[in-house]
C-alpha cells in the first residue's frame, strides 16, 4: 500500500530538512570561534538534522487525536534506566503518569564503519536498559510501552558496496557475509523488531545529491515509514481513547 500523498509530501520535506540543515551547519560551524571540526563532523556537532522527522511524527499523532500535552520533544524527555540514572529520548508519549511510547531518531552520513558499530551498540543498549527498568517497575502503573527506532542512512558507494567481515577465529552468521553497511543496518533493525527490543523500526536511504529534493528509498518492506506510523498510531490512539 502506498503512503498517503499528504504524509508522503511531509516525509519528503523532512528529508529535505535533514540535508539542508546539515549543509547550513557545516557552513556555519566555527564562524564565531574561528575553528572548524574536521570533515562531516561540522554538520554532526550542530545537531537538529532529525527535527523534521520528530515534528512530522508529533504533528501526525496530534492531528489524529492524541492530545499535544502528552507528546514531549526537546524538553522533559528523560526516562530512568536500570544501568544508568536516566536517558534522553527524542520523543516521548506520557499520559496521566503512564509511559506510552518512546522513539529514537538517528542518522548517519559518512564514516560508515566506525559509526555503524556505535549505532548498533546504542540501539541495543538503549532498549536493554529501558526494558530492564520497566521490568523493575520504573514506570508503574504503565502497561508495556511502545518503543520505536527510525534510521536515515546516506546512500553512497561506501554504504552500499559489500564489506568483508573480519573472522580471525570464528565465522560470522551467513547473513553478514559480504553485506554492505546499508544491508547490515537492515539486518540490525529487522532483528531488533523481531526480538521485540523495539515494537517497530523505520529504515530510510537518501543520497546527498537527490536528498535535498526530498528523494529517499525504503530497502526493506518490514521497515517502511508507513508500517512504523501505523504501529505507533494504533498504540497511541488506542491509549488515548481508553483514557477518554
For the chain, give every domain's residue range. 5-25+40-165+172-243
Question: What are the grid coordinates assigned to 12, written together?
Answer: 519528503
CB of 168 within 8 A of CB of 98? no
Instruction: Starting at the earlier edge strand, list the strands of the sheet with 71-73.
Output: 71-73, 91-95, 98-108, 146-154, 200-206
3-state helix, strand, coil in the chain (%, to 5): 45, 15, 35
What does the DSSP assignment read for 160-221? HS--PPP-SSSPPPGGGTT--HHHHHHHHHHHHHHTTSSSEEEEEEE-TTTGGGT--B---G
> In the structure, what pLDDT confidence band is assigned to residue 45 with cuts at 50, 70 and 90?
very low
- Residue 28 phi/psi, 5° resolution? -85, -20
> In the structure, what pLDDT confidence band is assigned to residue 37 with cuts at 50, 70 and 90?
very low
> In the structure, what pLDDT confidence band is assigned to residue 38 with cuts at 50, 70 and 90?
very low
pLDDT on residue 131: 98
How many C-beta atoms lie closer than 10 Å to residue 120's C-beta?
A: 14
- Residue 146 phi/psi, 5° resolution? -100, 130
- Percent of the chain whose predicted confidence (pLDDT) is above 90: 74
d(CA 216, CA 180): 18
Dump pLDDT digits (tens) for 13-24.
999 999 999 888
What does the DSSP assignment read for 61-86? HHHTT--GGGEEESSS-EEE-SSSSE
Question: What are the grid coordinates assigned to 174, written together?
Answer: 551467513
> In the structure, what pLDDT confidence band is assigned to residue 29 with cuts at 50, 70 and 90?
low
pLDDT on residue 13: 96
Q: Which of 30-34, 64-68, 179-183, 235-239 has the lowest mean pLDDT?
A: 30-34
pLDDT on residue 59: 94
CB of 90 within 8 A of CB of 50? yes
204 HSE (CA, 13 A, CB side): 26
Dump pLDDT digits (tens) for 59-90.
999 998 888 999 999 899 999 999 999 999 99
pLDDT on residue 238: 76
Dump pLDDT digits (tens) for 183-227.
999 999 999 999 999 999 999 999 999 999 999 999 999 999 999
CB of 76 within 8 A of CB of 84? no
Average pLDDT over the chain, rounded to an integer:
89
Identify which has the larger pLDDT, 206 or 44: 206
Amino acid at each position: 500500500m502506498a503512503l498517503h500523498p499528504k504524509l508522503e509530501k511531509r516525509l519528503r520535506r523532512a528529508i529535505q530538512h535533514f540535508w539542508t540543515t546539515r549543509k547550513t551547519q557545516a557552513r556555519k560551524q566555527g564562524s564565531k570561534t574561528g575553528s572548524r571540526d574536521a570533515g562531516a563532523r561540522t554538520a554532526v556537532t550542530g545537531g537538529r538534522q532529525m527535527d523534521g522527522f520528530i515534528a512530522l511524527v508529533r504533528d501526525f499523532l496530534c492531528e489524529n487525536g492524541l492530545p499535544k500535552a502528552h507528546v514531549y520533544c526537546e524538553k522533559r524527555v528523560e526516562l530512568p534506566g536500570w544501568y544508568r540514572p536516566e536517558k534522553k529520548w527524542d520523543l516521548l508519549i506520557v499520559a496521566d503518569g503512564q509511559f506510552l511510547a518512546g522513539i529514537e531518531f538517528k542518522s548517519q552520513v559518512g564514516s560508515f564503519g566506525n559509526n555503524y558499530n556505535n549505532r548498533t551498540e546504542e540501539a541495543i543498549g538503549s532498549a536493554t536498559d529501558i526494558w530492564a527498568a520497566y521490568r523493575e517497575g520504573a514506570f508503574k502503573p504503565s502497561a508495556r510501552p511502545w518503543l520505536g527506532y527510525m534510521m536515515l542512512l546516506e546512500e553512497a558507494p561506501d554504504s552500499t558496496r559489500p564489506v568483508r567481515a573480519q573472522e580471525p577465529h570464528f565465522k560470522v552468521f551467513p547473513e553478514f557475509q559480504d553485506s554492505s553497511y546499508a544491508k547490515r543496518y537492515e539486518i540490525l533493525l529487522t532483528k531488533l523488531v523481531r526480538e521485540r527490543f523495539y515494537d517497530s523500526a523505520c529504515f530510510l536511504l537518501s543520497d546527498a545529491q537527490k536528498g535535498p529534493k526530498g528523494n529517499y528509498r525504503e530497502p526493506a518492506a518490514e521497515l517502511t515509514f508507513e508500517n512504523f506510523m501505523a504501529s505507533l498510531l494504533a498504540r497511541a490512539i488506542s491509549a488515548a481513547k481508553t483514557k477518554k
